[in-house]
Amino acid sequence: MTKTLKDIFKEFEDKVESIHTLYSLGLMDSVSTRLSIVRDFSLIKRFIKAQPLENQRDLWNTMVDLLNASKAFDHVIKDLKAFDDEIKIRKDLLEIKEELMADCIKELENLNYTILQSHTQKNTVKGNAKKANKPDTTVKGNAKKANKPDAKFNWQGTQAQLVYLIEQLYKQGFLSPISQAEKHRLTAQHFTVKGESLNPRNLAKAKQSYLNNKGGKPKRGEEIEQIVSAAKKQNPRQP
């Protein structure tokens, strides 16, 4: 019987709980605990990367959701008497969990860039052929651009919420995959936050900030997810 990603992740969770117990009993330290969990997680990464390229994006997204919902990193050890030790151990494991989620998101971004590059290469020849037969409209185009006001969407939430919304739109397939840097550049180009101009570097910092939150989301992130999910349900053709 072929194992699914959920099957492999369940095995990983069992290993995490065993490592958690050994750490709690003083049989492992924080360094060996981190190394063991990262080593076991590498098996999941190899499984995903062995799948067809077109399936990997959904698998990485599923992996992020599974990690986010997992209780293996914060289950209580009943025999652990020292409260301070329990707090430290759970904090260490939750930090490892956040690092694994960030690793998955980075892998997803790399995958999106690879897919984008592949599509770009395939369309280069067709694009060049069309461009060769297309009349030169540069002067007219520049004239229209010069007369067009520099209008932007004025987001009324926070920068982190705007970045999270954009990420959810890419995650759900509403927008074609591009590199992370390009996402931030286009967001800054087309949006303001409460009337203030945006900087791609600050948007990147805003994303890293909410990834460091418990659950890897900004404030009201669940509401943003619900809105995007509701939109997806209204568009059954969306992958």
User: 27-42 pLDDT, tens per residue?
Assistant: 989 899 999 999 999 9
Q: What is the C-alpha end-to-end distance of the chain, expressed in Å?
A: 27
Same domain, 140 and 107: no
In tens, the pLDDT along 149-197 reads: 568 889 998 999 999 999 988 888 888 888 888 888 999 999 999 999 9
Same domain, 140 and 227: yes
Residue 236: pLDDT over 70:
no
Same domain, 44 and 93: yes
Same domain, 104 and 178: no
Residue 8: pLDDT over 50:
yes
Is 167 within a domain? yes
Same domain, 170 and 95: no
Q: Give how many domains the chain has, as a whole number.
A: 2
Which of the pair, 74 or 217, is modelled with greater confidence? 217
HEC states along 81-134?
CCHHHHHHHHHHHHHHHHHHHHHHHHHHHHHHHHHHHHHHHHHHHHHHHHHHHC
Is 55 within a domain? yes
Same domain, 143 and 104: no
Same domain, 89 and 145: no
Local confidence band at 210 (pLDDT 50, 70, 90 cut-offs): confident
pLDDT at 146: 44
Decide: 164 and 221 in contact? Cβ < 8 Å.
Answer: yes
pLDDT at 125: 56
Which of the pair, 114 or 122, is modelled with greater confidence? 114
Is 151 within a domain? yes
pLDDT at 35: 94
Name the average pLDDT for the chain.
Answer: 83
Domain that includes residue 193, residue range: 135-233
